[in-house]
Chain A
Amino acid sequence: MSIVVSGGKRGLTDPKIAAVILAAIPDQPLETQRKMNYFMTPRGKRINEYETLCCYTQPTPDWIPGGLDWGDWTQKFHGGRPSWSNESTEMHSSDWHKHRDPAFRWHALYVKDKAEEWRYTDRFLKAYSADGHVRSIDPIWRDEVLGDYLGAFGFSEYGLFNSHSSATRDCLGDTLRMSIAMIGLDKVDNAQMIQAERTFLAKLVPSFNESTDVPKKEWTEGSIYKGARETVEEIWQGTYDWNEILFSGHMIYDPLFGQFVRREFFLRLSAYYGDNLTPFFINQMQLYHSQTKGITKDMFHTCLAVDENFGDYNVSLMNMWSDKWLPRTVNALKDFMGIFAKIPTIAGVTDKAAVEAALGRVFEDWKRDYADPIGYKVDTAALIKTVLSGLK
């Protein structure tokens, strides 16, 4: 038969074409090894689908540890800087392909989760509005705290989101690159959820101002987020080392400042002010925080801190970076204490003892999960005292 196929005929369904194809196919498969990436070392007992689809997609040469390619880059930056290079970070690794998302999420699994969250958000908001819950929110909490200060916190999330752009570009491994992009998307999702909540409130409460003008003014000119803003700006644009960007954002700033603001301020207090809307959104953010925590702890603790050749050096560097970023974060929290003067006081909830207890939870969590694994010595009581000095 003719070898020219026209009229959209398909080899699978056209009997004549199919017969030719089947006649050409070997009687037995030519290869018995059917496992893709069979040569790699899996994190668990077997290579899973995430590892199959993601690992060794990075085409780096072997002089970048873990790379399977050879030679130089075929085109470099103007002036001759390499496409990717070991000099892009002070951290050292014996294998930049070692990292794994603990949830083994490749793209399809990641978007499936988020798509479900979006559909459920839509259903929740419809039920919330139809039920008239909005009537119970304290007006100061609603108009000033959610309107202005939650709105302003969206800029912190948006700034952190942007800190992932250069890390997505510069990092040296495939699973790293995918994880970084995904945790970056979660941050802009947080910022967008904050705006979604404010837009939703504006639909239910006629005078509620959904504009970002006042929150932006608060973020850029106000005193409550001054330290946070300066820290975020430095993480986003003042830092070039992609590992330092991730470490400062996800191992220092967000587990302390982000956790206090989200969990101990908005999430904990909202119920006291009749607000059962904000927890819906913040809980999604906390889920992302938890997933990100798994990812970044894998990067820094499971991979870099115990690297067979560079573990000790990497731990020293993480300690140095902690020295650099912890004071800024403490200062950001200290500035944030000013917010308690803006809300109606509830005894045992927003007074100094309650705030101190909340700070204790955040700092002790951070010490246990982030500082102790790298042997970073920290006096949490002293740090809390410094933060509390900002309480007016």
Chain B
Amino acid sequence: MAISLATKAATDSLEINRAPVSVGAQEVHKWLQSFTWDFDKNRTKYSTKYKMANDTKEQFKLIAKEYARMESVKDERQFGSLQDVLTRVDAANRVHPKWNESMKVISNFLEVGEYNAIAATGMLWDSATAPEQKNGYLGQVLDEIRHTNQCGYINYYFAKQGQDAAGHNDARRTRAIGPLWKGMKRVFSDGFISGDAVECSINLQLVGEACFTNPLIVAVTEWASANGDEMTPTVFLSIETDELRHMANGYQTVVSIANDEAASKYLNTDLNNAFWTQQKYFTPVLGMMFEYGSHFKVEPWVKTWNRWVYEDWGGIWIGRLGKYGVESPASLRDAKKDAYWAHHDLFMIAYALWPTGFFRLTLPTAEEAEWYEANYPGWYDMYGKVYEEWRARGCEDPNSGFLPLQWFIENNHPIYIDRVSQVPFCPSYSKGASTLRVLEFNGKKHSFSDQWGERMWLSEPERYECQNIFEQYEGRELSEVIAEGHGVRSDGFTLIAQPHTSKDGRLWTLDDIKKIGCVFADPLKSL
């Protein structure tokens, strides 16, 4: 076989230079945009009113193997810390009990968000037409699997090595009992995966990740560390290293539709809806977990919120997108009001419903009450006094026969669930902006706590049909609901949830609850 000119050239060049040659990730990536081709059926399976541009680029240009290398290095550091030094110093048994309980919720609920983001970014991978844009979303699909596993690892670690495994060891089964679950599903699950694909991207990447990731994943590490928890910073900061790429994906989503006419019509409405959807849950829940789920305090939640949400996201991040016609959400001003009081309102309800949780809650101590009053003037008159009353009536003692929920009933303060956000609220005892609105549709009543959610429901009631916990449990006795939802410890009768974290306090059992005879009622039925 005759030697070709090319072979000869290759041979000649080898004689001159025998330096080892390889191929870099960028040399492969530069061809990625040409990997696709046009054909009749090449369209997304998930409709969107926007058109994503065919030539959209990604900012982080990874190929599959380089992605794996990068993540593997991070994993080595992270799991090395957890399995080596943190285990040797018995770190899981040096966490304040209140924070140990908070991590049952924070880690598991974040896991749900990460898990649903796998599906969400799968949808975006399908929706995008540009291979680079698909590649960006693909990297995020894999990241979200990573984060799901990482969040699970926190609960796994605390269960295996910590002071109270209950709740860490079965959160995936018991989380559905209580009042925080459905709202969490709205923001972290369905809000990411059910809707116009770009709308879902806005929920996930432009708001969830670019806005609430910072307080959720970064600020939480300061609170964790202050309360003795070094596992959470080890894992969550490793998660955060991926989030920048996800924010970039959200940015590129907007870039990809910037020249589409639909963007000028719908983008700001979708952004406003997404922001309100996310903030409606995260603002009160994060504030509650930080402030009421800790002993040592880092800073008032309202300050954290202002820095990350209002200034950093609402100002700087959205400002950068201004050239694409993106404006700060109209609902940002109302959210700012929620940042001050909504988490105090929510804690009151969460504590009142404590037996339905998969974690222990604690009423503020005297020194914490001082801190709240100093940072939220008016707190004592609204909340502190009530907590004193609850404590005086023995709310922490199983022999008392008193559940704080009874206080709401006795004082005619019904608790409703907002149909759209699924967040509970008590319009007659609240310092936040919640106001009761009730609408009837197809023979069913629906309660709402704000104008933004109500508007979403009025436009598309068929998207928000989910039963709330009061409708689901109506007529059922509380201990039955807890038992059915597996809310008990391994002895089969002691509740996972408890109204205190005192080492000397007695633990409540199913019998203690049953004696009280608490039966669920749907407040909408009495309207």
Contact = CB atoms under 8 A, between A and B. Distances in A.
B410 interface: no
A75 B13 contact: no
B94 A200 contact: no
B115 A118 contact: no
Given A3-B295, A143-B6, A165-B126, A177 B118 contact: yes
B170 A10 contact: no
From A70, A130, A138, A189, name the one whose CB has the most chain B CB atoms within 10 angstroms.
Answer: A70
A86 interface: no
A29 B100 CA distance: 12
A321 to B, nearest CB: 19
B253 interface: no
A347 interface: no
A111 B70 CA distance: 9
B489 A53 contact: no
Contacts of B483: none
B152 A38 contact: no
A22 B34 contact: no
Contacts of A113: 68
A368 interface: no
Contacts of A137: 7
Contacts of A22: 94
Interface in A47-98: 49, 52-59, 68-83
A344 interface: yes
Contact of A73 (B1, B119, B194, B489): B194
A207 B94 CA distance: 65
Given A5-B296, A107-B145, A132-B14, A25 B6 contact: no
B45 A240 contact: yes
B465 to A, nearest CB: 6
Interface stretch (A191-199, A247-255, A296-304, A322-330): A191-199
B31 interface: yes
Contacts of B156: 36, 49, 52-53
Interface residues on A, range: 35 or more
Interface in B433-452: none
B466 A168 contact: no
A78 B48 CA distance: 10
Contact of A181 (B9, B20, B118): B118
B451 to A, nearest CB: 18
B297 interface: yes
A5 B298 contact: yes
B370 to A, nearest CB: 9
Contact of B146 (A58, A70, A107): A107
A169 B193 contact: yes
A74 B36 CA distance: 36
Contacts of B172: 37, 55-57, 68
B460 A78 contact: yes
Interface stretch (A119-127, A305-313, A374-382): A119-127
Interface string B149-193: 100110110011111111011101100100000110110011101
B164 A165 contact: no
Given A21-B228, A169-B123, A191-B35, A68 B94 contact: no
A10 B141 contact: no
Contact of A169 (B41, B115, B126, B169): B126
A31 B164 contact: yes
Contacts of A236: 42
Contact of B7 (A10, A129, A205): A205
A208 interface: yes
Contacts of A6: 298
Contacts of B69: 111, 114-115, 118-119
A24 B503 contact: yes
B35 A158 contact: yes
Interface in B100-127: 111-112, 115-116, 118-120, 122-123, 125-126
A272 to B, nearest CB: 12
Nearest to A200: B23
Interface stretch (B59-67, B330-338, B340-348, B382-390): B59-67
Contact of A118 (B68, B161, B166, B227): B68
Interface string B285-319: 00000000001111000000000000000000000
B89 to A, nearest CB: 7
16 contacts: A4-B296, A10-B225, A11-B228, A17-B228, A18-B228, A20-B96, A24-B97, A72-B466, A74-B466, A75-B466, A108-B72, A117-B68, A155-B37, A165-B125, A166-B122, A213-B34
Q: Which 3 A-B pairs have the closest CB atoms?
A: A11-B228, A168-B122, A126-B20
